[in-house]
Each structure stands twice: as structure tokens, then as C-alpha cells.
């Protein structure tokens, strides 16, 4: 008889028990960036929906923004750092390869010996991390998981790049995932396609850059540091042709139809992509659609929790509402799931997060 290996005791359901965000102090209107990219406020608003974006100051680091968002999420969930078992942090703009930002954030929050790691899945990062967290909770591997989506994309932006400079932005969103008496996070529908990785990418890897630097040192030439680049048309085409399937898959695996939805929270990539998805999915007018991009820009892994917070803060959605999330971007990777909207701090919570239990 082989030795029996025990499994952790499983929990049936998981939910988002609390949500928090950090928005950079500095809001940058289109008028401040149009000269560098030979553009106009009207062109940017028409092509992307963006009127302003949050750009972080030097002290608003990946770690600092994550810690601030996490504190609000824990307060909203009614737990403290000592209740958190695991930290999963999604980002694509950390400027060091190690240690993980998750580990530093855990320590800054006063956690000790807590598993913490980073996930890299571009703008789908938050939904990947959320799926990961829900599985850990249901599997009994963790009771409360702190999920963070955070970016400082300005560190990768060339100010004169006409395709990227007006789109990308900074910020953080955090969620506490924990046990629930009813399901609050549906199964994830996800995937990736490395054959289209050129559509959004860092334009050179660090080995290439270091080789350039070494050559410049010996020849006296100049170097250009790595930047984020995007083939806007390719991304747009993929998003409006493929993502309907991703959304429908996420609804199907959760056993939910568009008629059951209260809110739709797509990645805040571009208003025209959001409009196209609303149309092909034939969302009823009663569904609140997140449009945080107008004042926030595209914050990649942070965009979905930030957009959820905006819907809750403005009253367009309420805790307990049924929402479809879908993240998509570099990879090309995507992930979608149906969730119950969580509580946030600072607003009245008319509907308790159905069945959630923080204790
Ligand atoms: C980036 C994007 C807005 C560019 O719009 P587009 O219509 O594809 O723009 P094109 O590159 O085809 O250029 C169209 C025209 O606008 C001009 N243009 C390009 N960038 C411009 C800018 N920033 N300001 C003003 N004009 C610009 C071009 O020169 C071109 O002019 P022409 O017709 O006289 O030759 C669009 O491709 C897009 O939204 N893509 C998806 C991006 C996205 O969602 N990314 C996030 C993924 S996570």
C-alpha cells in the first residue's frame, strides 16, 4: 500500500470580501501630452475615450501603491494583515527581476512568513491572480488571499510614442479573496497566444540593451533604453474579434447569461473596444458598464479592480451585484470570470456581499 498523502480540507465557495484602490495624486489631462506626440485632445478622446490619466510621482512606487490599496481592501473585508495567508501580485512594470513585489508588500503590511509571489500576464494579470486566489481558498491552501493588480507603466513609456504615450497609466487595485457560503467567483475562462506577442511588448530585452551599452562605451555611441511598444491595429482587431468568445465562455462556465448581469467590467484598454464588446454581447441597458478609462487611462493589471471601485463608489453598482470581468492584453493573454461585486470602504453598503464570511 503506498503511503496516503492528505489533502487540505476544502472550502466550497470563495468570494471577493473587500476591495481597495490607489489612484496616483497627479492627474494628467490630454492637453499636457499632446505636443510631444503631435496629437489633440479631440483625437485622443475619439480614438480611446481617455480625457486624463493618473501618472505616479517617484514616491508612488509599485510597493507603495500596492500597500495603500491593500490596506483599504483589508478594511473593506473587515480583516487585518494577520488574517492574510497568501499574497498574489500581478504586474508587468516592476523594474527589478527579484525579489517579487508581493514579498516586499507582505512585509511592509506587517505579515510574517506569508507566501507571496508575482504573476505576469499583462492586462489580464488581475483576473489570472483572482483565479489563482479563488482556487487556493477553495482548496483549503489559504483562508484569505490578498490579490493585487498594480502598474507604473510610465516607467516604460517613451513620451513621444504616438501609440502608447496617451494610453498607459499608473495605479493599484487590491482584493481580499476568502471563504463564502455561496459562490462569489465563477470558474475562469482564460488563454494566451504567444504567436501574437509582438502586438504589445517591451521592444528589446535587457541582454540586448546591455550589449548596446557595452558597445556604446567602447565606440562612444548612444543607447536607447527599453520601452513598451504596441501595434494598436493588431490589438484592436484581436480584441473586437476574439474577446466575445472569451466573455461568453466565462458566462457559460458560471451558468450565467447576460440577462443575469448587473455590471460589466472589461479591462479599461480603450473605450471603442468596450463599446464593441457591449454591442456584440448585446448587454441589456440595465447592465452598468465600467468606463473608468476616461479619467484613469489604461492601467493594465490594475484596471479591473480600479474600474470595479469606480462603479461601486459612484453607485452604478452595489456590493453583491453580479458582474462579468474580462482582462486582456500582452501575451496575448486573456481571462474572464463572473463575480459578485465586493464591498469598498467609505460608502454605505446597502447590500451585504451575499454569503461572504470574513471571520
Ligand atoms: C492606438 C489606436 C488608438 C490608434 O488608432 P488607429 O486608428 O489604429 O491609428 P492608426 O495607427 O491607424 O493611424 C491613423 C491615423 O492617425 C494618426 N495618428 C496615429 N497616432 C496618433 C496620435 N497619437 N495622435 C494623432 N494622430 C495619430 C496616424 O498618423 C494616421 O494618420 P493618417 O491617416 O493621416 O495616416 C488604436 O489602434 C487602438 O485603439 N488600438 C488598441 C489599443 C489598445 O486598446 N491597447 C491596449 C491593449 S491592452
Q: Give the pLDDT mean for 120-141.
A: 97
The verdict on whether 164 is a catalytic residue reads no
Mutate to test the pocket of ligand 1, among 236, 267, 333 (most ligand atoms within 8 A of CB): 236
CA 300 / ligand 1 centre spacing (Å): 18
Ligand 1 nearest atom to the CA of residue 273, by list position:
44
Beta bridge partners of 18: 176
Q: Whose CA is nearest to atom 18 of ligand 1?
A: 162
Same domain? For 20 and 144 the reply is: yes
Q: Is residue 72 within 8 Å of 17, Cβ to Cβ?
A: no
Separation of alpha carbons 265 and 327, rounded Å = 9
Q: Give the pLDDT mean for 156-179.
A: 97
Give the pLDDT band (50/70/90) at residue 132: very high
Residue 352 has pLDDT above 80, yes or no: no
Output the pLDDT for position 347.
74
Q: Is residue 22 within 8 Å of 148, Cβ to Cβ?
A: no
Q: Is residue 164 within 8 Å of 228, Cβ to Cβ?
A: yes
CA 232 / ligand 1 centre spacing (Å): 6
CA 357 / ligand 1 centre spacing (Å): 46
Q: Is residue 77 within 8 Å of 17, Cβ to Cβ?
A: yes
Q: Give the pLDDT mean for 135-141.
A: 96
Residue 359 has pLDDT above 80, yes or no: no
Residue 239 has pLDDT above 80, yes or no: yes
Torsion angle, CA of 198/157/308/80, rounded to 10 degrees? 110
Q: Give the pLDDT mean for 326-348.
A: 93
Mutate to test the pocket of ligand 1, among 34, 46, 47 (most ligand atoms within 8 A of CB): 47
Q: Whose CA is nearest to atom 38 of ligand 1?
A: 232
Give domain status of residue 108, yes or no: yes
Main-chain phi, psi angles of 177, to 5 degrees: -105, 130
Give domain status of residue 202, yes or no: no
Beta strands in 237-317 (DSSP E): 263-266, 288-289
Q: Whose CA is nearest to atom 19 of ligand 1?
A: 162
Is residue 320 classed exposed, middle or buried when 0-12, 13-18 and 19+ CB atoms within 10 A define those classes?
buried
CA 48 / ligand 1 centre spacing (Å): 9
Q: How many CA atoms lie within 13 A of 50 on its CB side?
A: 31
Given the residues 164, 267, 270, 353, the one annotated as active site: 267
Give domain status of residue 212, yes or no: no
Separation of alpha carbons 239 and 228, rounded Å = 19
Q: Which H helix or E strand runs over 122?
A: none
The verdict on whether 267 is a catalytic residue reads yes
Output the pLDDT for position 349.
58
Output the pLDDT for position 178.
98
Give domain status of residue 224, yes or no: no
Give domain status of residue 2, yes or no: no
Same domain? For 169 and 95 the reply is: yes
Query: Which grid cell sits at 279?
Result: 454591442
Given the residues 123, 127, 164, 247, the one annotated as active site: 123
How much is the mean pLDDT over the chain?
95
Same domain? For 18 and 95 the reply is: yes
Main-chain phi, psi angles of 28, to 5 degrees: -105, 110
Q: What is the CATH number of the domain that holds 271?
A: 3.40.47.10
In tens, the pLDDT along 98-108 reads 999 999 999 99
Structural domain tally of the chain? 2
In tens, the pLDDT along 297-316 reads 999 999 999 999 999 999 99
* Domain range for 135: 13-180
Output the pLDDT for position 356.
57
The verdict on whether 132 is a catalytic residue reads no
Residue 351 has pLDDT above 80, yes or no: no
Least confident of 29-43, 247-261, 334-348: 334-348
Same domain? For 28 and 137 the reply is: yes
Same domain? For 237 and 174 the reply is: no
20: left (phi over 0), alpha (psi -120 to 50) or beta: beta
Separation of alpha carbons 213 and 178, rounded Å = 47
- Which of 47, 53, 59, 58 is closest to 33 using CA atoms? 53
Give the pLDDT band (50/70/90) at residue 355: low
Same domain? For 154 and 50 the reply is: yes
Given the residues 30, 132, 270, 298, the one annotated as active site: 298
Residue 353 has pLDDT above 50, yes or no: no
Same domain? For 238 and 176 the reply is: no
CA 93 / ligand 1 centre spacing (Å): 23
CA 231 / ligand 1 centre spacing (Å): 9
In tens, the pLDDT along 203-218 reads 999 999 999 999 999 9
Same domain? For 238 and 336 the reply is: yes
Mutate to test the pocket of ligand 1, among 31, 229, 233 (most ligand atoms within 8 A of CB): 233
Give the pLDDT band (50/70/90) at residue 9: confident
Query: Which grid cell sits at 20?
Result: 481597495
Torsion angle, CA of 300/306/310/316, rounded to 10 degrees? 80
CA 240 / ligand 1 centre spacing (Å): 15
Same domain? For 158 and 39 the reply is: yes
Q: Is residue 150 within 8 Å of 90, Cβ to Cβ?
A: yes
Q: Give the pLDDT mean for 39-66.
A: 98
Same domain? For 169 and 56 the reply is: yes
Separation of alpha carbons 229 and 200, rounded Å = 6
Least confident of 69-83, 219-233, 314-328: 219-233
Give domain status of residue 354, yes or no: no
Separation of alpha carbons 258 and 263, rounded Å = 10
Residues of the chain above pLDDT 90, percent? 91
Give the pLDDT band (50/70/90) at residue 32: very high
Give domain status of residue 88, yes or no: yes
Same domain? For 151 and 73 the reply is: yes
Residues with CB under 6 A from ligand 1: 37, 39, 43, 47-48, 123, 162-163, 166-167, 200, 230, 232-233, 235-236, 269-270, 273, 298, 329
Model pTM score: 0.95
Give domain status of residue 268, yes or no: yes
Same domain? For 89 and 154 the reply is: yes
Amino acid at each position: 500500500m503506498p503511503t496516503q498523502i492528505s489533502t487540505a480540507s476544502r472550502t466550497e465557495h470563495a468570494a471577493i470580501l473587500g476591495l481597495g484602490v490607489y489612484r496616483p495624486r497627479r492627474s494628467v489631462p490630454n492637453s499636457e501630452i499632446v505636443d510631444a506626440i503631435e496629437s489633440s485632445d479631440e483625437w485622443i478622446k475619439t480614438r480611446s475615450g481617455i480625457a486624463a490619466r493618473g501618472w505616479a510621482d517617484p514616491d508612488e512606487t509599485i510597493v507603495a501603491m500596492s500597500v495603500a490599496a491593500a490596506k483599504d481592501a483589508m478594511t473593506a473585508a473587515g480583516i487585518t494583515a494577520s488574517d492574510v495567508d497568501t499574497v498574489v501580485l500581478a504586474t508587468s512594470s516592476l523594474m527589478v527581476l527579484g525579489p517579487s513585489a508581493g514579498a516586499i508588500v507582505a512585509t511592509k503590511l506587517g505579515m510574517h512568513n506569508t507566501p507571496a509571489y508575482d504573476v505576469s500576464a499583462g492586462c489580464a494579470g488581475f483576473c489570472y491572480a483572482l483565479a489563482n486566489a479563488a482556487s487556493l481558498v477553495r482548496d483549503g491552501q489559504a483562508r484569505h488571499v490578498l490579490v493585487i493588480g498594480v502598474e507604473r507603466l510610465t516607467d516604460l513609456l517613451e513620451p513621444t510614442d504616438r501609440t502608447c504615450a496617451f494610453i498607459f497609466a499608473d495605479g493599484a487595485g487590491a482584493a481580499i479573496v476568502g471563504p463564502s457560503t455561496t459562490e462569489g467567483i465563477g470558474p475562469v475562462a482564460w488563454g494566451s497566444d504567444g504567436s501574437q506577442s509582438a502586438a504589445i511588448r517591451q521592444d528589446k530585452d535587457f541582454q540586448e540593451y546591455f550589449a548596446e551599452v557595452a558597445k556604446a562605451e567602447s565606440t562612444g555611441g548612444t543607447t536607447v533604453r527599453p520601452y513598451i511598444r504596441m501595434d494598436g491595429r493588431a490589438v484592436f482587431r484581436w480584441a473586437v474579434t476574439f474577446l466575445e468568445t472569451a466573455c461568453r465562455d466565462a458566462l457559460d462556465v458560471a451558468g450565467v447569461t447576460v440577462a443575469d448581469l448587473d455590471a460589466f467590467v472589461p479591462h479599461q484598454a480603450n473605450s471603442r473596444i468596450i463599446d464593441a464588446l457591449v454591442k456584440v454581447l448585446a448587454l441589456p441597458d440595465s447592465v452598468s458598464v465600467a468606463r473608468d478609462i476616461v479619467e484613469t487611462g489604461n492601467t493594465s493589471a490594475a484596471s479591473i479592480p480600479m474600474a470595479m471601485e469606480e462603479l461601486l463608489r459612484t453607485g452604478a453598482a452595489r456590493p453583491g451585484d453580479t458582474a462579468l470581468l474580462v482582462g486582456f492584453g500582452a501575451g496575448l493573454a486573456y481571462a474572464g470570470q463572473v463575480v459578485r461585486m465586493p464591498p469598498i470602504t467609505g460608502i454605505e453598503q446597502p447590500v451585504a456581499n451575499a454569503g461572504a464570511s470574513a471571520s
